[in-house]
Amino acid sequence: MNNQVNSNQWFACPKPNPKAETRLFFFPYAGGAPSAFHKWCKELPDNIEALIVHYPGRGSRYKEPPIKKLYILVENIYQAIQPFLDKPFAFFGHSMGGIIAFELAQVLKQNNSPQPIALFMSACGAPHIPNPNQPIHSLSDIEFLQSVKDLNGTPSEILNQPELMQLLLLTLRADFELIETYQFASTSPINCPIFAFGGLDDPRVSRERIEAWAIHTNSYFEANFFEGDHFFINTAKESVTQQILSSL
């Protein structure tokens, strides 16, 4: 583990609120930068301070190489998050971000660190069930980018500019390698509630894989499904936000 990890570079806080009662950490999806959740953070009530995990290789960290191994990424986030665990906190992770958030919660538990009061797993299948989707990180550039476009999560202004897509290519490919080479190591259930969110028309994550999160908590479990595909957080944002707030 890198002992020189800078906590500030790992978290974006669009709306600092030192008096907030709770912190909510957002873990972006593959290719996602903090900007993906900026609007969410600014619309949260004053009793919640939101921080967005800032992975290397994107945003203001675009010059840094992206991390291709999930457990290495989790170790770095674990070290960086320590100063922010001084009040109750929860994790929200979408797609790739869900698995990162879950594995970070496991590391916190194993190290007797403060643990989240809730996990929100969004468009993310339970880790003990093999991912049935074909890996795409080794495809040719054309095939890979088409597969990414099919997920319907990349803004049209980027899709329509090939030069921007080329800039994102390295980071996207690294992120998909990270999640597609991830191997779940059997662990004991965590002690906080898990709220699993799915899209009713998500072709990549089935209802069964969402509901299978139930075995990973010793506490309360609830599955909720929203109108939309893999990126229902864009089309059903208000409903998802209300579900998060009512669960905290």
Q: How far is residue 68 from each of residues 16, 27, 82, 103, 188, measured CA to CA in Å?
A: 30, 16, 23, 15, 25
Tokens of 165: 């897509």
Q: Is residue 239 very low, low, confident or very high in pLDDT (cuts 50, 70, 90)?
A: very high
Q: Is residue 114 part of a domain?
A: yes
Give the total residue count for the chain: 248
pLDDT at 3 over 50: no
Longest dimension (CA), the chain: 49
pLDDT at 224 over 50: yes
Annotation marks residue 239 as catalytic? no
pLDDT digits (tens, 9 = 90+) for 166-202: 778 888 889 989 999 999 987 889 999 999 999 999 9
Work out the average pLDDT over 53-77: 93
* pLDDT score for 188: 87
Q: Is residue 242 part of a domain?
A: yes
Helix, strand, or coil here: 153? coil
Q: For residues 38 and 44, is the Cβ–Cβ distance under 8 A?
A: no
* pLDDT score for 157: 52
Choose the catalytic residue: 95, 147, 219, 247: 95
Q: Is residue 209 part of a domain?
A: yes
Give the residue from 71, 93, 44 showing the smallest Cα distance to 194: 93
Q: Is residue 174 part of a domain?
A: no
* pLDDT score for 137: 76
> How many domains are contained in the chain?
1
Q: Is residue 99 very low, low, confident or very high in pLDDT (cuts 50, 70, 90)?
A: very high
Per the structure, the complete domain to which residue 225 belongs is given by 7-132+184-247
Q: Is residue 173 part of a domain?
A: no
Q: What is the mean pLDDT of the chain?
A: 88
Work out the average pLDDT over 77-89: 96
Q: Which amino acid is at 144?
A: F
Q: Is residue 166 part of a domain?
A: no
CA quadruple 170, 209, 98, 1: dihedral positive or negative? negative
Least confident of 10-14, 36-40, 108-112, 141-145: 141-145
pLDDT digits (tens, 9 = 90+) for 122-167: 999 999 998 877 777 767 777 877 777 776 656 555 566 666 677 7
Tell if the pTM clears 0.85, that is, is over it. yes
Q: Is residue 85 part of a domain?
A: yes
Q: Is residue 138 part of a domain?
A: no
* pLDDT score for 58: 87
The CATH number that applies at residue 24 is 3.40.50.1820
Work out the average pLDDT over 196-216: 95
- The secondary structure of the chain in percent helix, strand, coil, rounded to multiples of 5, reads 40, 15, 40
